[in-house]
Amino acid sequence: MNNVKSKVALVRCFSYQQEEVEQALAKGLAFLGGFSNIFSAKPPAASSGDAADRSLTRDPEADRAGVMSGEPAGLPRRQITTESRLILKPNLLAKTDPDKACTTHPAVFHAVGKALQEAGYTNLKYGDSPGNPMIRVEKVAEECGIKQAADDLGIPMGDFEHGTQVGFAGRAADHFVLCNEVLAADGIINVCKMKTHQLERITGAMKNTFGCVFGINKGASHARFATAETFAKMIADLNLLVHPILHVMDGVVAMEGNGPQSGTPTPMNVLMLSTDPVALDAVFCHLVNLDPELVPTNVSGMEQGVGTFAEIEVLTEEGRMTPEEVGKKYGNKKFNVQRSKEFRGALKPVRFLKPFLEKKPVVKRKKCVGCGICVRACPVEGKAIEVSGGKAEYDYSKCIKCYCCQEMCPEEAITVKKSLLARIADRRWRL
Ligand code: SF4
Ligand code: SF4
């Protein structure tokens, strides 16, 4: 990264009233110089490199999983014009009511789509690859209110039901199976949600690109990149590959606690925009009193050249601010997010205690309805969770703590439990 500061626009927005959201978005876009200025920004150096680093290949395993091969359509790194084919990529993790703050609110999605159309960018599609590959994206979009918003604007859904394998010489990944729409588009507008995440602490702009990966391949990625750090490196690779041209974060009502699906909605009253997903996620961190350096996707994002969490200028209605000033002025110090340093860095001397400090997913038996969605979500061969006697049960000897089961449980029946020692450590080393 060069020394130019990444810009993040932050606008206050206190409700999902369509008019208020549209006005907030218009201000944020103006702070960044409007779409034409935003879309003229150069992609990160690592992603504008030699196309020889990437090649489309056909994978027999992927074919069996419903993945189609196809002609190389090129990745979205062309000059953006009003003719360009753009995708709106909301967070469509699961079939939930928008009021649960699990998915991008339709009012934000609608405002972004409408603003693009009014600026002349009318060749739009939308979509995402939901967490549960057995559920069609259209059904998820309908339940989340996104389909209705898209229909209202006349924006059709893109092809997120098929994928193509793309080779990529990344830091962690050597290939991705991307949804075909991602390959066909000239640019992605990442309309992400401000939420907590059990593996990566937060899921914001960086992690939302994971929905560009086709269906069941997301589960396989969790198994392949099983730690928070390796998973984050893969996410940074993915961001370099698909590099959305704009990130809009719905932080009007965020999710805290047991995210990304079973947490608690909490108002943060902000809409944020940036071309740098690391900077955007870092400002999210400052708003919730979390050290950006503790978020693995921020660290890998900066190391791998996606963006910066150190050199940021926040553009607000009250002028230019530092992320620290923004955190103090607009943040919520008590936002429920993992702040413990865990046993990296300063805590290395007591690393032998690690097994006693690890958290693990647990089933709340009263809430479990035995649907088996968690079992299907588990990426481990032989499964680390199964339904027995109508209730889900863990085999912790197989569990890699990826939390896909917790992420996908529709009944909020899975929580993440810390040992007493871990809770004490968390309090002791809380920032
Ligand atoms: S834990 Fe959740 S996803 Fe798993 S069987 Fe129970 S209700 Fe279904
Ligand atoms: S049981 Fe849950 S946390 Fe453990 S490996 Fe399977 S999906 Fe991941």
Q: Are strands 360-363 and 414-417 parallel, antiparallel or unpaired?
A: antiparallel
pLDDT of 294 over the 80 cut: yes
Q: Spell out the domains of the chain, with CATH numbers in brackets.
A: 6-330 (3.40.50.11440), 345-428 (3.30.70.20)
pLDDT of res. 348? 42
Query: What mean pLDDT do residues 151-164 have?
Result: 96
Pocket (CB within 6 angstroms of ligand 2): 361, 377-378, 380, 384-385, 394, 399-405
Name the pLDDT band for 424 (thresholds 50, 70, 90): low
pLDDT of res. 69? 37
Q: Relative to the CA of 412, which ligand 1 atom is closest?
A: 2
Nearest CA to ligand 2 atom 5: 399
State pLDDT tens for residues 354-367.
Answer: 556 667 899 999 99
pLDDT of 52 over the 50 cut: no
Sort residue 217 into left (φ over 0), alpha (ψ -120 to 50) or beta: alpha
Query: What mean pLDDT do residues 292-305 have?
Result: 96
How much of the chain exceeds pLDDT 90, in percent?
70
Identity of the amino acid at 425: A
Nearest to 273, CA basis, from 316, 304, 221: 316
Nearest to 182, CA basis, from 122, 129, 106, 108: 129
Give me 86's structure tokens. Answer: 């753009």
pLDDT of 138 over the 60 cut: yes
What distances in angstroms separate CA 384 from CA 37, 342, 366, 378, 380, one per listed residue? 48, 24, 20, 7, 6
pLDDT of 167 over the 60 cut: yes
pLDDT of 162 over the 80 cut: yes
State pLDDT tens for residues 59-118.
Answer: 434 433 334 333 333 364 568 999 999 999 999 999 999 999 999 999 999 999 999 999
What sign has the CA pseudo-torsion 171, 307, 203, 149? negative
Rounded Cα distance between 159 and 184, Å, is: 9
Which residues lie across from 248 on neighbouring strands?
A: 191, 273
Rounded Cα distance between 171 and 235, Å, is: 10
Least confident of 19-33, 69-83, 257-271, 298-312: 69-83
Using the mean position of ligand 1's atoms as its centre, give its distance from the Cα of residue 385 in Å: 10
User: 361 in helix, strand or coil?
Assistant: strand
pLDDT of res. 132? 79
Q: Relative to the CA of 395, which ligand 2 atom is closest?
A: 1
Using the mean position of ligand 1's atoms as its centre, give its distance from the Cα of residue 297 in Å: 28
State pLDDT tens for residues 213-242.
Answer: 998 778 778 778 888 999 999 999 999 999
State pLDDT tens for residues 97-112.
Answer: 999 999 999 999 999 9
Which residue would you say has higher pLDDT here, 176 or 425? 176
pLDDT of res. 51? 32
Using the mean position of ligand 2's atoms as its centre, give its distance from the Cα of residue 187 in Å: 33
Query: What mean pLDDT do residues 40-59 have?
Result: 47
pLDDT of 50 over the 60 cut: no
Rounded Cα distance between 92 and 179, Å, is: 14
pLDDT of res. 226? 80
Name the pLDDT band for 53 (thresholds 50, 70, 90): very low
Nearest CA to ligand 2 atom 8: 402
pLDDT of 24 over the 70 cut: yes
pLDDT of 210 over the 90 cut: yes
Mean pLDDT over all residues of the chain?
A: 87
Query: What mean pLDDT do residues 7-31 have?
Result: 98
